[in-house]
Amino acid sequence: MKRVAVVAVSALAAAVLVAPAQARQPDQVTESQAEYVVLYKEGASGARQAVEAAGGKIVKENTAVGVATVTTTNAGFAAAARSSSAIEGVVHNRPIGSVPDQARASAGVRKAVEAKAAEKAVERAGHGAPASTGRGNPGPGAEPLAELQWDMKQIRATADGAHRYQQGGKDVLVGVLDTGVDGSHPDIAPNFNAALSRNFTVDIPVDANGADVDGPCEAEPDRSCEDPADVDENDHGTHVASSIASPINRLGIAGVAPKVSIVNLRVGQDSGYFFLQPSVDALTYAGDHGIDVVNMSYYIDPWLFNCTDNPADSAADRAEQATIIKAAQRALDYAHRRGVTLVGAAGNQAADYTKDYTDTGSPNFASVPGEAPRERTIPPSCVSMPGEGRHVVSVSSVGISKRKSYFSSYGNGYVDISAPGGDVYDTPDNTRDVTKGTLSAYPESLARARGELNPDGTPNVGYVVRDCDGSVCGYYQYLQGTSMASPRAAGVAALIVSRFGHPDRRHGGKTLAPGIVEAALKASATRTSCPDPRAFTYTRHLPNGTTATDTHVCEGGPLRNGFYGSGIVDALRAVR
């Protein structure tokens, strides 16, 4: 999946070649009504008046960082708004009312669910046998599925490791900026803070080309496009939340920090897209409400990398990308100044972010009719947000052997820290093993909708696991990705705040300066040197009978390098 930093546990990183398209010209809009995100110029007055003068109507405004969502019927709105001295930039968000009603009535969410299930079935072909629950031999004080959590053993976030000394405190709040969190999952519910959780997204039925995005609006009782703040119709956010803080409750697994509170700050669409305004709103909300740590396992769409000077882009495209960088950075700065430790996934492109990279997938969302991705050469001056933003702890992924995962992006000076995110080909014979992914919570409703359960509720696929305590059952799935590594680092950050934080006089609970948390994360990490030779070759024997090889070059020394940053996080050392 491109839009969120997760790779299905048996996924082959396949490049999809898209025919080059003309660079879009955002100022030339033909739909009857369009939506934009407008960035106000810092210190300037009259931004609202400038929006209105350009023919726009503000429907949502974040005054903390000066970002507004605007609708307009004026085809020249963007150019008119940019000409104002009070406006820093304008970004296309999505079209409104330009798609026929029959397109809106399409299969929508059902179609997206079926496509996801088909994708998993293909990628995990040959692994259809149900997985063992792992119950029977957990160690003293360990959760029933603890023996399946090789990742927690690796970072010593176990009953006889960090959890013996520190499990986190309920007054430490971890915000999950993702596709939502299933707050009813029995292995999340005890730590789910419903009062503070918010959904900053609105479902998008179709894009500018009439293609399904999130499907029809289905939230009951009024078929609203705004889902409740305790659901996840994608599965990504639930996996992340569980990795951070599944409780010790004699069911399933334990997270890295099993007693901290999870706050769902939903910024991702059901489809896995993540847009600018929700990200900005969630970050400022985190800063205003005493959130201690946030996890961001995604990049802001529609550009994997935002460039301000790339000759492959039109002037209008460059202006939009510059606006995304500025707006996202303002929000990151705002949260950081207010005590939020920012943790982000390094990305799954298997790319060295300090070298030129060929991107064939951007822009990946049609906000303008006819828009399509095109091939671009990306120099290191371009940035992926929020992962490359200032103050963000960027996390690469390692597998069970502690090698950098084959899919994980890297780069000396880019990666800050590493953590287990899985690598299904990290096996003695380089063949795929789903249990070398990471196991975390999975919404039962999605498992049923995707046909992954038998009539009696037992899993019928090898990447889904069920565990029951009496009549209460929880479902879990194996996934791999830097999306899975990042929350494990965020969990260790939450343990550090729990152990060393001081009273938060503004919000109650505890707080600890993000700079101190980051320093403690790095200082307590297990120093891990580059492989020898530094040009490490990955061999993968794929299910279709072919073999793939890729070589990644690690730069740097034992104290910091491009594969591991300052090392692999260690929960026990962090709290002792």
Instruction: Give CA separation, 95 vs 35, 73, 204, 364, in Å.
Output: 6, 10, 10, 15
Residue 140 has a pLDDT of: 84
DSSP state of 503: E
Q: Taking Cα atoms as reference points, which of 390, 411, 421, 418 lies closest to residue 483?
A: 421
pLDDT at 210: 72
What's the rounded mean pLDDT across residues 61-81?
A: 94
Q: How confident is the model at residue 26 (pLDDT cuts 50, 70, 90)?
A: very low
The mean pLDDT value for 197-212 works out to 83
Q: Which of 73-82, 155-164, 217-226, 296-305 is least confident?
A: 217-226
Give yes or no for residue 12 having a pLDDT over 80.
Answer: no
48-62, 119-133, 170-184, 307-321: least confident range:
119-133
The model's pLDDT over 512-568, given as tens digits with 9 standing for 90+, comes to 999 999 999 999 999 999 999 999 999 999 999 999 999 999 999 999 999 999 999
Whether residue 558 is preceded by a cis peptide bond, meaning omega within 30 degrees of 0, is no
User: Going by C-beta distance under 8 Å and a sequence separation of 6 or more, which residues neighbour residue 223?
Assistant: 216, 217
Provide the pLDDT confidence category of residue 123 given band limits of 50, 70 and 90.
Answer: very low
CB 303 within 8 A of CB 321: yes
- Residue 216 pLDDT: 75
Burial of 418 (0-12, 13-18, 19+ CB in 10 A): buried
Tell me the three-class secondary structure of 343-370, residue by residue: EEECCCCCCECCCCEEEEEECCCCCCCC
**Which is more confident, 254 or 314?**
254
Helix (H, G, I), strand (E, B) or coil at 426: coil
DSSP string across 123-168: HTTT--SPPP--TT-PPTT--TTGGG-HHHHHTT-STTTGGGT---
Angle at CA 87, nearest 5°, toward 82 and 91? Answer: 65
User: Predicted confidence band at 369 (pLDDT cuts at 50, 70, 90)?
Assistant: confident
- Three-state SS for 271-338 is CCCECHHHHHHHHHHHHHCCCCEEEECECCCCCCCECCCCCCCCHHHHHHHHHHHHHHHHHHHHHHHC
What per-residue confidence (pLDDT) applies to 5?
A: 53
CA gap 243, 151 in Å, rounded: 10
Using DSSP's 3-state secondary structure scheme, residue 190 falls into: helix
Q: Residues 397-410: pLDDT tens digits?
A: 999 999 999 999 99
In terms of DSSP bridges, do strands 341-345 and 293-296 run parallel, antiparallel, or are they unpaired?
A: parallel
- Average pLDDT, stretch 41-54? 94
Q: What is the pLDDT of residues 342-361, one digit of tens each?
A: 999 999 999 999 999 999 99
The model's pTM: 0.90
Residue 207: what pLDDT? 73
| Each residue's pLDDT tens digit, 370-401 | 778 999 999 999 999 999 999 999 999 999 99
pLDDT at 224: 67
Which of 113-122, 139-148, 450-459 is predicted with the least confidence, judged by mean pLDDT?
A: 113-122
Please compute the mean of the pLDDT values over residues 277-302 and round it to a whole number: 97
CA-CA-CA-CA dihedral for 507, 511, 515, 520, to nearest 10: -160
- Contacts of range 148-153, beta carbons closer than 8 Å, 24 or more positions apart: 148/253, 148/435, 148/439, 148/465, 149/253, 149/254, 149/438, 149/439, 150/400, 150/420, 150/436, 151/400, 151/420, 151/421, 151/422, 151/438, 151/484, 151/488, 152/254, 152/256
Bridge-based pairing state of the strands 173-177 and 293-296: parallel
Which residue is listed with tokens 């990290």? Answer: 426
Per-residue pLDDT for 477 more than 70?
Answer: yes
